[in-house]
Amino acid sequence: MKIPIPTIEDFPADRANCGNCTRKGGYCPRSKKDKRQHNGLLYGFGNQITGIIYRCINYTGPFKK
């Protein structure tokens, strides 16, 4: 059975996450800085998706505390 990979659109809209972050520029895991991390996804060996970034220490947006 193949498990569907979550996307940024699957994150809850009422909590701080990559889906509602307003950060532009600077360090951001959504930007493609290298082959192992971009667009909110983490890639492992063989370019396989191994995880997704949910909480980010660089979050800016409506739910920043």
For 18, list phi and psi in degrees, rounded to 5: -60, -30
List beta partners, residue 16. Answer: none
CA nearest neighbour of 14 among 58, 59, 65, 63: 63
Q: What is the pLDDT of residue 14?
A: 92
- Answering whether pTM is above 0.85, one says no
- Contact yes or no for 17/11 (Cβ under 8 A): yes
Q: What average pLDDT values come out for the chain (65 residues) when binned by 10 residues?
A: 77 87 80 75 83 84 88
pLDDT of residue 1: 66
In the β-sheet with 37-38, what is the strand arrangement from edge to edge?
37-38, 41-43, 49-52
**pLDDT at res. 62:** 92
* pLDDT value of position 36: 79
